[in-house]
């Protein structure tokens, strides 16, 4: 019972915090660019507004178009329930490990691409095709990068990986860890559609990926998809924070440890979000044909990380 | 303490390998020079770490020399060469970026496989970094053979030299100071000679 509560609470925390994380990154970016920015709570307001609106659905859309938003939200929430957020003891570990997590993320991407293709518009199809190109390269990178950690710690369960790094800080400095972190960051940026791979702030531009796929969606469906995208970003940031720098996470379910864990995850998300904002301010969007080169780099790094973890074990 | 020693050297060594890999993805000579400078600073860091934990005081001097020569003088010379060239052009490597990265990934895996017997018989704390040093040598060699621009080839060659220095530091806690000084002079001389040759190339190609 306590276990179930812990899983539900961590998942709910991740899901509810997600729009604030997006708002925070936007705010930090605005400040860096000399604008005042819209405040942390703006994404919540946007979601409320979008949820309250009516929908316009293309005549050519089939049932897949209606199914996709819920499939995306379901897959993302299921993936979020596997991530250790506040505490190392993540009882949902019994349900799935890093491979299940990657598969669930891929399932969400798959339905997003289907939803983009379904109404038969040019933009949606183009976005889906691009998204598949990127996803085919990022998902294996994410899996191999986490696998490098799994090889060091001897378990593919995310909670156990975080827990062993917490117990043995020496694991945290080493080629496997450093290279895997670099690979993970690049894959994460591509996966969440941030600069330099995709620009989250543009609409109706020939270079966009994520925004092109959801162009036909409006009203509550759009709100669900936007929210799922925010959860995905938060989930991957949390994963980056907790797998590579697990300090501060609660080792037990004692109240004091949980409070420390909560504070720690907020601070870590703050630092990572700031890094993301600085990166997005500094770099320009890559030409689409250079994106696979960047992803090849991240895959090579992940491969090296896994190799070095395997051989130095 | 031994664990910290080996982890620190391995992290710095993998940072050096990372920088060599990043070069394959970049398209401008300025990025090559920055990567080389950062890599040299990481090499100096390895030198100081080995000096401290391995109790080899003269390596402090070597670390400082690396910092001064490869971290400052040589990058400046390279920037000078680059500034003399007219117009900023993208590099056109013989092998495209994705393929080079995948080839280098394979080279690094090969380096791990080749150096495994070596690492098994050694009992130095730094043995974990040996395959990385070997991988760095392979990757730098690949940079030399797969780039067309003279300056990019020089950077590849210097990274190769960095890889050999790293191998010496990790495998034998450095070579005697006299040898090290000779190597530094060779590097400086080599870069100066290459500079002269590259100027000659530019002069004849613009005529």
Residue of B nearest to A298 (CA): B101
Close Cβ partners of B99 (under 8 Å, ≥ 6 residues apart): none
Q: How far apart are CA A89 and CA A6, in angstroms?
A: 9
Tens of pLDDT along B18-66? 889 888 888 888 889 999 999 999 999 999 988 888 888 888 888 898 8
Chain B residue numbers touching A297 (CB-CB < 8 A): 21-22, 24-25, 97, 101
Residue range A187-225, pLDDT digits in tens:
888 888 887 778 777 765 666 788 888 888 888 999 999
Contacts with B, A 141-170, CB within 8 Å: 170
Contacts of A202 (CB under 8 A, 6+ apart): A208, A211
* Residue B118 in contact with partner chain A when CB distance is under 8 A: no
- Contact criterion met (CB < 8 Å) for B102 and A178: no
Per-residue pLDDT of chain B (207 residues; tens, 9 = 90+): 677 788 888 888 888 988 898 888 888 888 899 999 999 999 999 999 888 888 888 888 888 988 998 889 889 988 888 887 776 677 778 888 888 888 998 998 899 888 888 877 877 777 778 888 999 999 999 999 998 888 888 899 999 999 999 998 888 887 888 888 888 888 888 888 888 888 888 777 765
Domain count, chain A: 1
Q: Please give the distance of CA A303 from its chain centroid, rounded to a whole number.
A: 21
Give the pLDDT score at A136. 87
Nearest residue on chain B to A300, judged by CA atoms?
Answer: B105
Into how many domains does chain B fold?
Answer: 1
* C-alpha distance from B102 to closest chain A C-alpha (Å): 6
In a 3-state reduction of DSSP, which class is residue A87?
strand
- pLDDT value for A205: 62
Tell me, what's the pLDDT at A50?
92
Range of the domain at A37: 2-311
Which A residues 293-312 touch B at CB under 8 Å? 293-294, 296-297, 299-301, 303-304, 307-308, 311-312
Cβ distance A158 to A84 under 8 Å? yes
| The pair of three-digit structure tokens given for residue B109, joined into one six-digit string | 């895996």
Confidence of residue A173 (pLDDT cuts 50, 70, 90): low
Instruction: Say how far apart CA A198 and CA A202 lie, in whole Å.
Output: 9
Classify A250 as helix, strand or coil.
strand
The number of beta carbons lying within 10 Å of the beta carbon of residue B165 is 25
**What is the per-residue pLDDT for B40?**
93
Mean pLDDT over the full length of chain A: 86
Instruction: Identify which of B10, B22, B24 has the shortest CB distance to residue A175.
Output: B10
- pLDDT of B23 reads 87
Instruction: Give residue B11's pLDDT.
Output: 82
Domain of residue B96: give its range: 2-206
Residue A229's pLDDT is 92
Strand-pair partners of A66: none
pLDDT grade for A93, boundaries at 50, 70 and 90 = low
């Amino acid at each position: 019972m306590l276990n179930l509560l812990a899983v539900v609470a961590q998942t709910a925390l991740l899901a509810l915090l997600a729009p604030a994380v997006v708002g925070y990154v936007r705010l930090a970016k605005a400040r860096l660019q000399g604008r005042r920015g819209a405040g942390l709570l703006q994404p919540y307001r946007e979601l409320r507004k979008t949820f309250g609106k009516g929908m316009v659905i293309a005549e050519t859309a089939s049932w897949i178009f209606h199914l996709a938003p819920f499939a995306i939200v379901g897959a993302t929430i299921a993936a979020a329930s596997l991530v250790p957020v506040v505490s190392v003891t993540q009882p949902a570990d019994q349900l799935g490990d890093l491979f299940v997590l990657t598969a669930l993320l891929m399932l969400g991407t798959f339905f997003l691409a289907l939803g983009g293709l379904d109404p038969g518009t040019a933009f949606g199809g183009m976005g889906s095709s691009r998204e598949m190109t990127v996803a085919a390269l990022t998902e294996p990178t994410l899996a191999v990068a986490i696998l490098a950690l799994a090889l060091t710690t001897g378990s593919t369960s995310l909670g156990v990986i975080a827990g062993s790094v917490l117990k043995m800080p020496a694991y945290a400095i080493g080629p496997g860890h450093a290279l895997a972190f670099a690979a993970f960051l690049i894959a994460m940026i591509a996966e969440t559609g941030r600069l330099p791979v995709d620009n989250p702030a543009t609409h109706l531009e020939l270079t966009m990926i994520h925004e092109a796929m959801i162009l036909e969606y409006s009203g509550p469906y759009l709100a669900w998809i936007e929210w799922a995208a925010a959860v995905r970003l938060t989930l991957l940031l949390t994963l980056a924070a907790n797998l590579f720098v697990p300090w501060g996470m609660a080792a037990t379910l004692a109240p004091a440890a949980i409070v420390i864990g909560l504070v720690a995850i907020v601070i870590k998300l703050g630092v990572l979000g700031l890094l993301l904002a600085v990166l997005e301010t500094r770099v320009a969007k890559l030409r689409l044909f250079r994106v696979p080169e960047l992803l090849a780099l991240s895959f090579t790094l992940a491969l090296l990380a896994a190799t070095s973890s395997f051989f130095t074990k | 303490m031994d664990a910290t020693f080996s982890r620190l050297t391995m992290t710095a060594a993998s940072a050096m390998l990372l920088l060599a890999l990043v070069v394959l993805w970049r398209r401008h000579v300025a990025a090559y020079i920055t990567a080389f400078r950062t890599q040299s600073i990481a090499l100096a860091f390895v030198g100081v770490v080995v000096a401290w934990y391995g109790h080899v005081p003269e390596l402090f001097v070597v670390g400082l020399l690396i910092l001064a020569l490869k971290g400052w003088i040589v990058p400046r010379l390279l920037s000078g060469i680059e500034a003399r060239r007219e117009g900023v052009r993208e590099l056109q490597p013989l092998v495209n970026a994705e393929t080079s990265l995948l080839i280098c990934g394979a080279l690094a895996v090969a380096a791990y496989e080749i150096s495994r017997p070596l690492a098994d018989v050694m009992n130095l704390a730094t043995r974990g970094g040996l395959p990385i040093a070997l991988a760095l040598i392979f990757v730098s060699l690949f940079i030399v053979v797969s780039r067309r621009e003279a300056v990019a080839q020089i950077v590849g060659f210097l990274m190769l030299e960095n890889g050999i220095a790293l191998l010496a530091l990790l495998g034998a806690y450095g070579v005697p100071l006299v040898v090290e000084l000779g190597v530094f002079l060779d590097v400086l001389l080599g870069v100066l000679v290459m500079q002269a040759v590259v100027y000659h190339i530019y002069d004849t190609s613009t005529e």
